A and B are shown apart, each in its own frame.
Chain A
Amino acid sequence: MDFEDTPEEAEFRAEVKAWLAEQAAEYDLSNHGELSVDQQLALGRAFQARKADRGYAKVTWPRELGGMGGTPMQAVIYDQEEEKYDFPTVFFGISVGMPIPVMRRFATEEQQQRYLVPALRGEEIWCQLFSEPAAGSDLGGIRLRALRDGDDWVLNGQKIWTSWAHISDYGVIITRTDPSVPKHRGMTYFFVDMKAPGVEVRPIQQAAGGGEFCEVFFTDVRVPDSARLGEINGGWQVAIATLMEERFAVTEASGGGASLEDTVRFLRREFDDGESGLDDPIVRDKIAQWYVAESGINNFHARQLTGLSQGQLPGPEAALSKLVIARKLQAQSAYIMDTCGPAGAIYPDHPISRASDYRMAWLEAAGYRIAGGTDEILRNTIAERVLGLPGDVRVDKNIPFEQLG
């Protein structure tokens, strides 16, 4: 039992480390001054193209598709090493992670030739148009209508929470094609040109100020039948395939907030009476509690990576990571604010660093508990798919969609 790479893994890690170190001067954001989003995107596209040249843009894909024919473990090793830098890769995570693997599975040979490589190279960006105002956790409740018209389909309706739609060139979309049947049986999956007439993208400003989520309105948007992925009314199966796209996300146990080390350094500060914040037994109890949670997540990941290294893909139990991390981030950030007294609620003129800005982390945590599967849905996933408990009673299961309230 150990935490060591196998010799092959160590060799690959060394290669990746060396390559990333060479890229840092040109592409790491910390080596640049203040950059606008457009400038970051341009820099990101250039970096993405270099990644694709090495096969790192999709490690597990074959070389002819722009990958390097690597193992899932090698993909994780690349991600672990890349994460140590601040490269502008945030724009491509969803694009390369979800829609593009679905295109590889469901698009025609010709379409794959046309779209896959430009996406891996960051020349084109893809988004995933799933959620709607009335369909969040219950994705099967989507209403955006696609009506057949000759060789085309005509789309009308609205999507929401679409990450990076405002910079996307294409998107995959799930639509309602037959409202006269129960909801999961009347949906069809397409890919769409985000620059097509009738597509309107409006960024949403989030509670914490961030704006990568968008609303997307479709008004008489024409999509050729050749852009359909999967069967007519067989969209649910394609959507499930998108969501099941196995990828081991490298998640920091800190959840992007202050690390526990930084938290200890911060709490160690002395107050006017000369006492360190760490003298307080309540503070010490909290640190122990967070350490147990963080260590639990890190060691759980180590167990999962061991499975991956031996060729087993992670199962639905992976859902527990975010469930633990997001709640801990919220509690830990709030507690650090508590220790500051009334000043805890004030934004300092110069936050120590983005990573240790626990005020922002506290606000972001409220959204983190929802994005990509709410705490409640993740608990359902664990209960049903890991523990094998029965699903909830589905009162809408056999009722035609158009008759639902």
Chain B
Amino acid sequence: MNFDFSEEQKALQSEVQRFLADRSDLSVARAVLDDASMSHAEAVWREMLELGWAGIAIPEQYGGVGLGYLELCVMAQELGRSLAPVPFSSTVYQFCEAVLRGGSEEQRGAVLAAVAAGETIGTLAFAEGVGFPAPGRIKLRCEQGRLHGEKWPVADAMIADAAVVLAINESNEPCLCLVDLAQDGVQRRALDSIDPTRNQGALVFEGAEAQLLGKAGDSAWAVFRAVLDAAAVLFAFEQVGGAEACLQSAIDFANERNAFGRPIASFQAIKHKLADVYVGNQLALSNAYYGAWALASGADELPLAAAVARVSATEAYENAAAENVQVHGGMGFTWEADCHLFLRRSRSLAVLIGDPGMWKKQITAEFERKVA
């Protein structure tokens, strides 16, 4: 049994953790929260690019570092812990993943090399307002290589250089399109979000030029779902990292805060609450490992493992973030305390790539198929 990350992967994790503690502590997330004109922490992001983070999992032939999903998982956990306000997940888990899984050799070569070189912020545009897209419900059209319609919310819409956009073609088949966002046919509109530490916006396409990524039809939808599965595993690690930060914050506060003549950490009402948070976090971490294994080994059960990792991590993070506020009491609900940063992030991550209900449906459907 070797159900663990390697020594090298753990060393990478420590390195990333040290970097983030040094360059992107919570004051950095808070600066983005407090300043509406800031879309992300540009200086931190630039340093990450210089360190080659954007290309860490991009194969060497496309100019990346050529490490794998397991390395991305441990990095994601640390990014989640630090609440780093950077366009890493949109660029790496979503945009690159879509190009890798759906793109032609030529598209991969051009697009991934630009990401690895730190020249491109990318995103995946799939939502069209309230609800989650289904093949028959997509309105954005791709006709003769031009896009017409609107996508929102889109992560990092205001800063992305390129996007993979889910559309339907002339025959009403779903397709994925690669779009350069720096062109006249693209308008952007900033959106207010529950979590202002991460940029959200709308992309409006009025005849913007686009390239088809792979074939239209069922295969495009399959690529889209596979991208979401991969992203679900990586987001699960971010969520677990955030949940662990919440538990630590609650423990630190409970040990320090005295009431009724003793530290509140000595009351069972607090201890049992935190024990439950710990249990949720451990189950989520263990399920995230399962997702990591399925993703890295290319296992057929990835849709099941990814959905399990996603649901488990979403529940753990939301519970940990809410209980962290609760343990902090009134102070925990002030703008000044950091608790709400995690509370906000936990909720935005919970819905970003499909709500828990959608992923639960996937678990049951996949499990049902396995049971003869």
Interface residues of A (CB under 8 A from B): 1-6, 9, 73, 260-261, 264-265, 278, 284-285, 287-289, 291-293, 295-297, 299-300, 302-303, 305-309, 317, 320, 323-324, 376, 378-380, 382-384, 386-393
- A70–B275 Cα distance when bound, in Å, is 34
In the complex, the answer to whether B308 meets A292 with C-beta atoms within 8 Å is yes
Q: Indicate which residue in B70, B263, B292, B368 contacts A264 across the interface (CB closer than 8 Å).
A: B368
In the complex, the answer to whether B271 meets A380 with C-beta atoms within 8 Å is yes
Q: Can you sample 14 A-B contacts with CB below 8 Å?
A: A284-B361, A292-B283, A292-B287, A292-B312, A296-B284, A296-B287, A306-B2, A307-B4, A324-B283, A379-B272, A383-B275, A387-B271, A389-B274, A390-B263
In the complex, the answer to whether B284 meets A389 with C-beta atoms within 8 Å is no
Interface flag for B286 (CB, 8 Å) = yes
Interface flag for B360 (CB, 8 Å) = yes
Which residues from 273 to 300 on chain B have a C-beta closer than 8 Å to any C-beta of chain A? 274-276, 278-279, 282-284, 286-287, 289-290, 292-293, 296-297
In the complex, the answer to whether A389 meets B255 with C-beta atoms within 8 Å is yes
Q: Other CB < 8 Å A-B pairs besides A5-B1, A292-B312, A387-B251, 4 of them?
A: A1-B70, A3-B293, A387-B275, A389-B271
Query: Which of A320, A378, A393 has the largest number of chain B CB atoms within 10 A?
Result: A320
- A265–B371 Cα distance when bound, in Å, is 8
Chain B nearest CB: distance from A42 CB in Å? 36
Chain B nearest CB: distance from A94 CB in Å? 26
In the complex, the answer to whether B308 meets A2 with C-beta atoms within 8 Å is no
Q: Indicate which residue in A73, A278, A302 contacts B3 across the interface (CB closer than 8 Å).
A: A302
Q: Indicate which residue in A302, A378, A390 contacts B286 across the interface (CB closer than 8 Å).
A: A302
Q: Indicate which residue in B274, B283, B368 contacts A278 across the interface (CB closer than 8 Å).
A: B368
Interface flag for B189 (CB, 8 Å) = no
In the complex, the answer to whether A382 meets B364 with C-beta atoms within 8 Å is no
Interface flag for B265 (CB, 8 Å) = yes
4 closest Cβ pairs, A-B complex: A296-B283, A383-B271, A288-B360, A299-B286
The interface residues of chain B lying within 8 Å CB-to-CB of A305 are 1, 3
In the complex, the answer to whether A389 meets B265 with C-beta atoms within 8 Å is yes
The interface residues of chain B lying within 8 Å CB-to-CB of A260 are 367
- A389–B251 Cα distance when bound, in Å, is 8
In the complex, the answer to whether B287 meets A299 with C-beta atoms within 8 Å is yes
In the complex, the answer to whether A287 meets B367 with C-beta atoms within 8 Å is yes
In the complex, the answer to whether B287 meets A1 with C-beta atoms within 8 Å is no
With contacts A284-B360, A390-B266, A391-B266 taken as known, whether A379 is within 8 angstroms of B367 at the C-beta atoms is: no
In the complex, the answer to whether B3 meets A3 with C-beta atoms within 8 Å is yes
The interface residues of chain A lying within 8 Å CB-to-CB of B271 are 379-380, 383-384, 387, 389
Main secondary structure of the interface of B (DSSP, over half): helix
- A309–B2 Cα distance when bound, in Å, is 8
The interface residues of chain A lying within 8 Å CB-to-CB of B254 are 389
In the complex, the answer to whether B3 meets A1 with C-beta atoms within 8 Å is yes
- A67–B1 Cα distance when bound, in Å, is 23
With contacts A2-B293, A296-B284, A300-B282 taken as known, whether A291 is within 8 angstroms of B2 at the C-beta atoms is: no
In the complex, the answer to whether A387 meets B268 with C-beta atoms within 8 Å is no
Kindly report which residue of chain A lies nearest to residue B270, judged by CB atoms.
A389
- A73–B368 Cα distance when bound, in Å, is 33
- A289–B262 Cα distance when bound, in Å, is 38
Q: Indicate which residue in A9, A292, A306 contacts B4 across the interface (CB closer than 8 Å).
A: A306
Interface flag for B190 (CB, 8 Å) = no
With contacts A324-B283, A392-B266 taken as known, whether A284 is within 8 angstroms of B364 at the C-beta atoms is: yes
In the complex, the answer to whether A389 meets B1 with C-beta atoms within 8 Å is no
Chain B nearest CB: distance from A69 CB in Å? 21
Interface flag for B26 (CB, 8 Å) = no
Interface flag for B363 (CB, 8 Å) = yes
Which residues from 238 to 275 on chain B have a C-beta closer than 8 Å to any C-beta of chain A? 247, 251, 254-255, 262-263, 265-266, 268, 270-272, 274-275
Chain B nearest CB: distance from A8 CB in Å? 12
Chain A nearest CB: distance from B205 CB in Å? 35
The interface residues of chain A lying within 8 Å CB-to-CB of B19 are none
Interface flag for B5 (CB, 8 Å) = yes
Chain B nearest CB: distance from A335 CB in Å? 14
Query: Which of A265, A293, A379 has the largest number of chain B CB atoms within 10 A?
Result: A379
In the complex, the answer to whether B4 meets A1 with C-beta atoms within 8 Å is yes
Chain A nearest CB: distance from B190 CB in Å? 35
Query: Which of B255, B262, B266, B315 has the largest number of chain A CB atoms within 10 A?
Result: B266
Query: Which of A5, A308, A389 has the largest number of chain B CB atoms within 10 A?
Result: A389
The interface residues of chain B lying within 8 Å CB-to-CB of A287 are 363-364, 367-368
Query: Which of A261, A303, A305, A376 has the largest number of chain B CB atoms within 10 A?
Result: A303
- A228–B292 Cα distance when bound, in Å, is 52
In the complex, the answer to whether A387 meets B360 with C-beta atoms within 8 Å is no
With contacts A1-B293, A299-B289 taken as known, whether A383 is within 8 angstroms of B272 at the C-beta atoms is: yes
The interface residues of chain A lying within 8 Å CB-to-CB of B368 are 264, 278, 287
Kindly report which residue of chain A lies nearest to residue B315, judged by CB atoms.
A292
Kindly report which residue of chain A lies nearest to residue B73, judged by CB atoms.
A1
In the complex, the answer to whether A292 meets B311 with C-beta atoms within 8 Å is yes
The interface residues of chain A lying within 8 Å CB-to-CB of B5 are 1
Interface flag for B357 (CB, 8 Å) = yes
Kindly report which residue of chain A lies nearest to residue B271, judged by CB atoms.
A383
Kindly report which residue of chain A lies nearest to residue B290, judged by CB atoms.
A299
- A376–B283 Cα distance when bound, in Å, is 19
The interface residues of chain A lying within 8 Å CB-to-CB of B363 are 287-288, 291-292
With contacts A317-B282, A393-B262 taken as known, whether A1 is within 8 angstroms of B2 at the C-beta atoms is: yes
In the complex, the answer to whether A309 meets B286 with C-beta atoms within 8 Å is no
In the complex, the answer to whether A295 meets B297 with C-beta atoms within 8 Å is no
- A303–B265 Cα distance when bound, in Å, is 28
The interface residues of chain B lying within 8 Å CB-to-CB of A278 are 364, 368
The interface residues of chain B lying within 8 Å CB-to-CB of A3 are 1-3, 293
The interface residues of chain A lying within 8 Å CB-to-CB of B266 are 389-393
The interface residues of chain A lying within 8 Å CB-to-CB of B275 are 378-380, 382-383, 386-387
Chain B nearest CB: distance from A301 CB in Å? 8
The interface residues of chain A lying within 8 Å CB-to-CB of B4 are 1, 303, 306-307
In the complex, the answer to whether A306 meets B361 with C-beta atoms within 8 Å is no
Chain B nearest CB: distance from A312 CB in Å? 11
In the complex, the answer to whether A303 meets B3 with C-beta atoms within 8 Å is yes
In the complex, the answer to whether A4 meets B1 with C-beta atoms within 8 Å is yes
- A96–B272 Cα distance when bound, in Å, is 33
